[in-house]
Amino acid sequence: MRKMTLFKLFGTNLKITTKIIHMTTRYKTKNYNAVYTKLYEINALKLVFPLQQFHRKYCFQSFRGDETDSDSEDIEQKRDIKSTILQDNNDILAIKISECKSLQEIFDLLQNNKNKLNWKNISMAIAMVRELQIIYYRVCMFEKNLNSYITPEYNFENILTNNDFLNLINLMEEHYEFMNIQCLSYSLLCLHKIGVDINSTVSLKLSHKLQKILLISPVEEIESCILSRFIVTIVSHRDLLGLYILKDIWPIILKKMELCDTYEDIKHISICLYNLPWFLNKSVMDNFISKIECNLLNKPQHDEKIKCVVKVLRLINSPYWINQNINLTRSLLLSLVGAIKHIALYDMIQLQMIIVKQSEPYELFEEIHNETSKWLSKADVDTDITVLRLLSCIVPSSSATQRKHIESLLRKQFLLNNSFSHLCIGPLFNIIRNLKTSDLEICNAYWSSVLDWLISGKPSIREHHKLLRICNRYMNFNNNMSGTYRHYKFENQMINWLTEELDYGVSAIIPSKFSKIFSFFISYPNKNIGYDIPEVMVKKVLDTVGQYNIYDCYIVSKGLNTAFINRKNKTALPMFLDQYVRLCTALNKRSLDILNQEPYLSISQLNSLYRGYNHRYNVNEPRLFYKILERYKNYTSEDFSSRTIRELTYNLVASDWYDAELLDKCLEYFIKNHKYLLAENVEKILTLFFLYGVNSEKFIEFLPYATEIINRDKFKMSGLNFMRASLALCYFYSLSTSIKDYLFSVEFLEKLEDELNNCYAKATYPLKVRQLLMILNRAVCIDYPEFDVPWFHTKYCEEIQSLVPKHTGSFYLEVEKKINQLIINKGYLKSNSFSPYGYKLDFELILNDSKQLKRANNNEKLILLLLNEKDLRKTDNEMRGLSKLKQRHLEILGYRVIWIKKSIWNSMFMTEPEAKLSYLKSLIWKKP
């Protein structure tokens, strides 16, 4: 059994289909034919191994949680290790090692030739161990959940305790001094990827040796791939030693950046810079951007160029730089239009993540969606990490039918098996989060499996930065589900681990770490952990808040907001309310300090500051609010992007604020870049203008483009978003016939029904959709009679009317009392009535030629409506869009509408005797 090869085990146990699925031309097969032949030869059952399935599982990274990469992960070089690390090698033993098909075969070769071993053999052996590990993770990890026959003795999960592998490590320590720079860098990276601790003796020896060579070698002679391998490995230190090493290598990278002029060099320098965000500044990035513009833009398509563009895009879309080079990002993305079918799937997945972050351009978003959908439709959707990665790309832009299919696939693959590999955790999170499924079984299965993996795994997977990443995922997941989902066992265990980290780890003394722990800790109270926040934690925040950056303020504010919502039914919590006010006040002060100290914040940073302020909605600070808005005035339309505009419109709606100048800048960007926009972003700004009932010259100019985009994407938008956009277009008299036809079609109503059946917030979402559908039906019937759309909400309105209680507020009762004093004949006055099409009317008067009303028109129908603060814009105290729409519709129906503002009714001059009666008279019997 011990001599049975790894692949022979796989051949016996894997679920292998007996039909070869031929690969299309876009899949690169030249390096896999030999692998396929070898697998067939050693397959005990001589079954046909499906080449596409093998390729699909083999051609991607191992997804072991690494956030870095290097040239060793490139697909084309996967099976050609000899030319990668030993270009001119004619060593017979090294060649034999490179052709090995299993770990045992490698170890047997080393054992049988132990007296002839040299540094070339050792380098090749460690490289091949890494190659076989990649195959193991990509081909066999999922079947392991279903086939317990693969024992730990034969897998890679325990390779670090394997005696043969440890002997190989000892051999490397003996021979590393003789290795050339290429082998040193490759071996060091392979050790890191295999899982050898970077602080182990062998890794330290290799890194110190490589560091010395790099420091004394002329920059011109150093290959950029060597630098990228070294950086990727050293960054994993996550300690001062790593930074100490990197500070000496940084000047070499800068010099190499000045010299780079090939796709290969730019790609590897991008990898280096991406992994060294602490060293980057605007000057360095500007120099690198110049290199990109000279060497990438307006160049013909080429495989190497495409891979280079992907790495560059990942760098310039990293958190700090994402909004610094918007035009370049768009140009690079658009340069890939038409070439997606030639892009390797892993690169396509990375591209999709970038596009989702940017929320544009439409052309590439659509092309990637179509290509991945085609690929999935041909693929054998077994438990496969590649399929999951592709699904995670597709879900955000999927139709309701596609989402339903994806949900059934998840239910089949993971609920029935009741388990899944930890490799699925990342892509599964993105899928389930974006699905917003109402199936709690899927959600519970996911978070239970994450918890089981954390509990049963090695202590290294529970390091504080990894726990905090998972905590952040849970918070985002909970937020996407509108706070309706809770997994109490997961929350309690995470809080136990975080408490332990605060007691014995370093997070308690690092503000950015403590802020994340504090945010999670306070967000999810229950009867086991209590509802009060430990005062010692509150004091810790208050003492260190002066060291918080923008993101720290945001994350704590987000936690406070969630904490407040989850405690809103707990009225007897005076201690928590006091803590909440103190923390919000301190965060407001810190945010104000940041604004005063940092004159050059990016739009993204300002958006985070604004959103953090909105999260502290119960503790307002007007100075901070106006200063944030004022800072936006420093930007032009060129500084914005679809993503930043989307975040800004969210913030403006959340704070209930309309800023004409600021929104005109957003509209300038949208008008200039209208062909790149996604419908969901257009809907957000349409809805904002409708909510506030305003427009501008820029908005009127943008409306035709908005109508075109909504019409283009109407089949892909969610029902709620499509109806919101349609209502806004209706309000501004821009609803097209094609949008109307789809809106009131059986196809759309069936889609809406599916959404309601599968929505996650069944207590609120269906009511919201039904109400909006009624409002939209009413608006089209009244504003567009030429469309001949029937009014099919009569019964619904009658049901709603029967449930509407009569007004009992002091404002209403006082107005009613004064009107009754004016109207002698009570038959001419109706209270709490309804108009045709279901509008609620506060007071309805019929004026005729009676003695009392001799100056009025014959049988004039007059409506008095009350305006509370929520019906008015905070900026100028004018009516919102819904109130204006109501007035317009009532006037079309033949009513004269009079509004009475609560602020005026309760103002100082109304305290005089008879003032309110005189005011009502002047409104009702207004002189023509």
- Between CA 889 and CA 897 the distance in angstroms is 10
Do 605 and 723 fall within a single domain?
A: no
Q: What is the pLDDT of residue 37?
A: 38
Task: Round the average pLDDT of the chain to a whole number and report it.
Answer: 81
Residue 305 lies in a domain: no
Residue 25 lies in a domain: no
Alpha helices in 296-384 (DSSP H): 303-316, 326-334, 345-358, 362-378
- Between CA 433 and CA 411 the distance in angstroms is 15
Whether 586 shows a pLDDT value over 90: the answer reads yes
Report the pLDDT averaged over residues 255-273.
92
- Provide the token pair at 274: 């991406």
Buried b (16+ CB within 10 A) or exposed e, 644-663: bbbbbbbbbbebeebeeebb
Q: In the listed set 571, 605, 634, which residue is the last one of a domain according to the structure?
A: 634
DSSP code, position 48: P
User: Higher confidence at residue 21 or residue 394?
Assistant: 394
Q: In the listed set 277, 299, 321, which residue is the last one of a domain according to the structure?
A: 299
Do 132 and 241 fall within a single domain?
A: yes
Residue 21 lies in a domain: no
DSSP code, position 159: G
Of the ranges 149-153, 536-540, 606-610, which one carries the lowest mean pLDDT score?
149-153
pTM value is 0.81
Q: What secondary structure, in 3-state letters, does 402-422 show?
A: HHHHHHHHHHHHHHCCCCCCH
Summarize pLDDT for 268-321 with one digit per residue, the tens: 999 999 999 889 988 999 999 999 998 888 777 777 888 899 899 999 988 778
Q: What is the pLDDT of residue 481?
A: 81
Closest among 666, 691, 547, 661 to 607, alpha carbons compared: 666
User: Higher confidence at residue 733 or residue 387?
Assistant: 733
Residue 317 lies in a domain: no
Q: What is the pLDDT of residue 418?
A: 54
Do 100 and 164 fall within a single domain?
A: yes
Residue 284's identity, in one-letter code, is V
Report the pLDDT averaged over residues 904-908.
86
Residue 742 lies in a domain: yes
Whether 698 shows a pLDDT value over 80: the answer reads yes
Report the pLDDT averaged over residues 386-415.
75
Of the ranges 74-83, 469-478, 679-688, which one carries the lowest mean pLDDT score?
74-83
Phi and psi for 595 in degrees, rounded to 5?
-60, -40
Residue 910 lies in a domain: yes
Do 877 and 744 fall within a single domain?
A: no
Whether 351 shows a pLDDT value over 50: the answer reads yes
Do 736 and 854 fall within a single domain?
A: no
Summarize pLDDT for 217-250 with one digit per residue, the tens: 999 999 999 999 999 999 887 777 778 888 899 9
| % the chain with pLDDT above 90 | 41
- Between CA 612 and CA 554 the distance in angstroms is 4
Do 787 and 816 fall within a single domain?
A: no
- Provide the token pair at 880: 């919102």
Report the pLDDT averaged over residues 121-145.
74
- Between CA 601 and CA 84 the distance in angstroms is 44
- Between CA 846 and CA 826 the distance in angstroms is 10
CA distances from 180 to 120, 198, 201, 206, 393 (A): 9, 20, 19, 11, 41
Report the pLDDT averaged over residues 655-662.
93
Whether 397 shows a pLDDT value over 80: the answer reads no
CB atoms within 10 A of CB 859: 9
Q: What is the CATH number of the domain that holds 812?
A: 3.40.960.10
Do 609 and 705 fall within a single domain?
A: no
Bridge partners, residue 830, by sequence: 844
Whether 64 shows a pLDDT value over 60: the answer reads no
Do 917 and 864 fall within a single domain?
A: yes
Q: What is the pLDDT of residue 146?
A: 35
Do 477 and 553 fall within a single domain?
A: yes
Residue 266 lies in a domain: yes
Q: How confident is the model at residue 498 (pLDDT cuts 50, 70, 90)?
A: very high
Q: What is the pLDDT of residue 69?
A: 52
- Counting every residue written for the chain, the total comes to 928
Do 831 and 729 fall within a single domain?
A: no
CB atoms within 10 A of CB 526: 13
* 693 Ramachandran zone, left/alpha/beta (phi>0; psi -120 to 50): left
- Between CA 704 and CA 734 the distance in angstroms is 8
Residue 52 lies in a domain: no
Summarize pLDDT for 470-494 with one digit per residue, the tens: 999 999 898 888 778 889 999 999 9
Beta carbons of 715 and 747 less than 8 angstroms apart: no
Q: How far is CA 822 from the centre of its chain?
A: 59
Summarize pLDDT for 157-213 with one digit per residue, the tens: 678 888 899 999 999 999 889 988 989 999 999 999 888 888 889 999 999 999 999
- Provide the token pair at 171: 């051999």
Task: Domain count for the chain, please give it.
Answer: 4
- Between CA 209 and CA 187 the distance in angstroms is 12
- Tell me the torsion sign for CA atoms 315, 317, 320, 325: positive
Whether 49 shows a pLDDT value over 70: the answer reads no
| Residue range of the domain that includes 625 | 462-634
Closest among 631, 542, 630 to 588, alpha carbons compared: 542
Beta carbons of 225 and 182 less than 8 angstroms apart: no
- Between CA 28 and CA 31 the distance in angstroms is 7
Q: How confident is the model at residue 55 (pLDDT cuts 50, 70, 90)?
A: very low
- Provide the token pair at 95: 């060649």
Do 857 and 899 fall within a single domain?
A: yes
Helices 440-456, 464-480: inter-axial angle, 10-degree rounding? 170
Do 716 and 770 fall within a single domain?
A: yes
Helix (H) or strand (E) holding 860: strand 860-867
Whether 538 shows a pLDDT value over 60: the answer reads yes
